[in-house]
Amino acid sequence: MDMPSEIQHQAMGYDRAATMFSPDGHLLQVEYAEKTVRLGSSSIGIVCSNGIVIVSDRRINDPLIVPSSANKVFEIDSHIVGSAAGILSDARVLIDKVRVLAQQHKVTYDSPIDVESVIREIANTKQMFTQYGGARPFGVSLMIGGIDESKPQVFASDITGNYFSYTAMAIGENDEKIKEMLKMKYNKNLNIEGGIKLALGIFKEVLGKNFELSRFDVAYIPVKSSKVVRPDENSLKKYM
């Protein structure tokens, strides 16, 4: 009986380094990292008519953990936030890197950094770790949202270092199912309130009886103020 090609490649050692291509053109360590991302908790990012919204599932299983210490939405600058799916310790390293970049830009140019520069730095760093030996790929997908000169934007980067701009995007567990629901329900005229309702409604449909407002970390940035707002659990009840 013939072995599947992936098992053959493992047996021949093509998955021992991120820099080694298999005969059919795959970087197996990178593909394994992509599977890690799909095991991570989900996040939804939405571009609204008056800002951006990111809603993330903390997926806390331990009742002894303080929810506020397990935030899934990270503030990069006063006008930019990010969320991650996969190995969050990998994400923290990338987030800290671009936080420094944002502050350096502000000091050097006396202006806020644009959102694409942040995601480009993250994507470039990820790409390096798929090309050079001695290190594994970053096992995390990052979604970045922010305001550029009154223009709301959401970007997402994958394991390989590619990134794209989106009107609505999902990363992590059940990402394909959530993206299909976003394609059906997203409307470019949604305001921030509508975006939060849409994201929480999708999570409610996906999670079913496991849905609880306490497990979500939510942040939005209005175009008018370009400042991050983080509603608490009580504030989210009105959206349900």
Strands (E), 28-175: 43-48, 51-57, 73-77, 80-86, 140-148, 151-157, 163-166, 168-171
Domain boundaries, the chain: 26-239
pTM of the predicted model as reported, rounded to 2 decimal places: 0.90
Q: State yes or no: pLDDT of 6 exceeds 70.
A: no
Q: For residue 2, what pLDDT is reported?
A: 55
Q: Which fold would CATH assign to domain 26-239?
A: Glutamine Phosphoribosylpyrophosphate, subunit 1, domain 1 (3.60.20)
Q: State yes or no: pLDDT of 29 exceeds 70.
A: yes
Tokens of 54: 């990111």
Tens-place pLDDT, residues 37-71? 999 999 999 999 999 999 999 988 778 888 778 88
Tens-place pLDDT, residues 70-98? 889 999 999 999 999 999 999 999 999 99
3-state SS, 62-80, equals CCCCCHHHHCCEEEEECCE
